[in-house]
Amino acid sequence: MMAWLRKLADHVLELTRGRTTAFFLMFFFAGHVMAFLGKMNTDYIAFVGVLGGLVLGHSVQENKFGKAGPPLTSAPPPDGGT
């Protein structure tokens, strides 16, 4: 059972490319289940809205100020360019 759960978690993280997005998706789906069961309230909606804003802000920060830099258009020469 744990191996299956770990495989599922790895697959979700691979699809979402990060823990933050996966975390937000967990709350998104939990909210839909709560709405279906009639347990949704405005506090939960506000909480998920704030989480969505944080995920968006984090993504913008990574894209704008990330350490990875711009993507390479081609591989660098093997001799270091000299």
Are 13 and 22 in contact, with CB atoms under 8 Å apart?
yes
> Residue 23's closest CA among 67, 54, 62?
54
Q: What is the pLDDT averaged over residues 29-55?
A: 81
- Establish if 38 belongs to a structural domain: yes
- Establish if 9 belongs to a structural domain: no
What's the CA gap between 80 and 82, in Å, rounded? 6
The percentage of residues in the chain with a pLDDT greater than 70, rounded to a whole number, is: 74
- Establish if 7 belongs to a structural domain: no
Residue 44 reports pLDDT greater than 80: no
- Establish if 40 belongs to a structural domain: yes
Residue 9 reports pLDDT greater than 60: yes
Total number of domains in the chain: 1
Using CB atoms within 10 Å of the CB of residue 21, give its burial: 0 to 12 exposed, 13 to 18 middle, 19+ buried: middle
- Establish if 75 belongs to a structural domain: no
pTM for the model? 0.43
Residue 73 reports pLDDT greater than 80: no
Mean pLDDT of the chain: 75
Residue 30 reports pLDDT greater than 60: yes
